[in-house]
Each structure stands twice: as structure tokens, then as C-alpha cells.
Amino acid sequence: MELRQRELLAPFPIFIAITLFLLQLCAATSQINHSESSKQTSVSSPSAPNSRFLSSSALSLTGKHSSFRWGRRRHRNKVNRASIEFLYAHNLVRARVGEPPLEWDGRLAAYARAWARQRVGDCRLVHSNGPFGENIFWAGQNNWRPIDIVKVWADENKFYDVNGNTCEPGQMCGHYTQIVWRDSTKVGCARVDCSNGGLYAICVYNPPGNFEGENPFVSYHDQIGLLREEPPAVVVNPF
């Protein structure tokens, strides 16, 4: 009789152990589910700090298309040593007569480069006839620095009569007056080596200058109906 009672009572501790194990397993599963739910809520919540959103923004700034756009903008606005020399030389001339400095404009420089590249094969001394003011230059040798080119234009000041606002007969001074034109605020330049061994250079100004009847040292707000003429190209004899 005792043996039977023991046999009947033996499974009872095993049942308790299994029950406790199942309860612990359920509690652990519930805790894991709650933790995952909390993480999903914090990620989708717009008010909480979101590391995924920050990483996504960083990727969008360094993505293929965005990096291409930034690279193209940097190229457009790139200021190399020649650009600095062109700008410095212009502003040095303007400072001597009390005119405000010009700013370098990447779009004007790109316009100048595009036109200069068209002149590589022939080096023809022609203006682009665009909406900007222009000074162009050609030399038989390609060892001319930007500051030397601007100096050739600026040296026309000796032919310019400030009081009469005129050039000496038979002389050029339009390159100089464009450099110091008060209403011109931006400039962009380019130079190329020609196929014939020479050098072609162009500087583009905006707003343009050299309006007929206007003084370069006076500011004008209305230029409608006035004739604007580009100065002829400067040609330097290599010999």
C-alpha cells in the first residue's frame, strides 16, 4: 500500500517543475516582445531622436546624384591661380581711381571659357556679341600672365581724357574704361593657348560698360536706349 502511494505521488514534483519552467518561459517571451515593441515605437515616433533618420540624411547628402551636383558646383565656382591674378589686376587698377572692387563670377568665367575654346583653332579677334561687356586680347606667344594682359588694357588710361570723357584721336581707351566702369560689379576671365602658338584671352563684365555718352566714373541706373560699343581687340606683336 505504501509502495502504491509513493508511485502515485512520484509524478507530482515533476509536474510542478514543468509548470514552473513553462511560467518562466512565458515570462521571458513576454519581456522580449515588449522590448521589441518599445524599439519599434521609438523608431517610428516623429518626436523622438531618430538615429536611422540621421543616417539616412547623411547618405542622401553623399549619394551619387548629390555628390555629382556638388562636384559640378565646385567646378563651376572654382577659382584657380589665373582667376585670382585676373581679379587682383582688375581691382588694382580700380583702386587707383577710387572705384569699388569687382567680384569674381563663376558663370561669367564659364561663359568666357566657352568662347575662348572656340578660338583655339583660329584665334580670330572677334567678340562673342553676348549680353556682357568684353575685353579681348591676342599675343603671338603664350607666355603672357593674367596680370600682364590686364596691364596692357589698363595702360590705355594715358589716352583717356577724363574731363572730356574721350579718347585721343587714333588711340584706344575702351578696354581701360571697361575695367574701371563703376556700374560693372562682376568679372570672369579665361585664356587659351592657340593652335598657332599664340594666346587668346577674354574678360567678361556684368553689368556691361562703355555706353555711349556715359562717364565710367559715374553710376547710372537707366541704360535703356543707349549704344554700347566693345573696344577692338588688343593685338601684341611678338617681334
* Digit-coded pLDDT (tens) for 191-237: 999 998 899 999 999 999 999 889 999 888 655 445 566 776 665 65
pLDDT of residue 50 exceeding 60, the answer is no
Residue 103's SS3 state is strand
Rounded Cα gap, residues 60 and 62, in angstroms: 5
Are the beta carbons of 99 and 157 closer than 8 angstroms? no
If you average pLDDT over residues 2-12, what whole number do you get?
A: 43
Q: Is there a domain that residue 185 lies in?
A: yes
Are the beta carbons of 120 and 196 closer than 8 angstroms? no
Whole-prediction pTM: 0.62
* Digit-coded pLDDT (tens) for 60-75: 223 333 333 334 444 4
Rounded Cα gap, residues 160 and 153, in angstroms: 12
Higher pLDDT among residues 139 and 35, named by residue: 139
Q: Is there a domain that residue 33 lies in?
A: no
Are the beta carbons of 102 and 179 closer than 8 angstroms? no
| pLDDT of 220 | 80
| pLDDT of 222 | 56
> What CATH code is carried by the domain that includes residue 188?
3.40.33.10
| pLDDT of 54 | 24
Q: Is there a domain that residue 154 lies in?
A: yes
Q: Is there a domain that residue 197 lies in?
A: yes
Q: Is there a domain that residue 162 lies in?
A: yes
Q: Where are the alpha helices (DSSP H) in 77-162?
A: 81-96, 106-118, 146-154
Q: Is there a domain that residue 116 lies in?
A: yes
| pLDDT of 87 | 98
End-to-end CA distance of the chain: 136
Give the residue among 221, 236, 199 at the shortest CA–CA distance from 116.
Answer: 199
Are the beta carbons of 128 and 233 closer than 8 angstroms? no
Mean confidence (pLDDT) of the chain: 74
Query: Residue 93: pLDDT band by 50, 70, 90 thresholds?
Result: very high
Rounded Cα gap, residues 182 and 211, in angstroms: 12
How many structural domains are present in the chain? Answer: 1
Residue 54's SS3 state is helix
**Structural domain for 120, as ranges:** 104-124+144-212
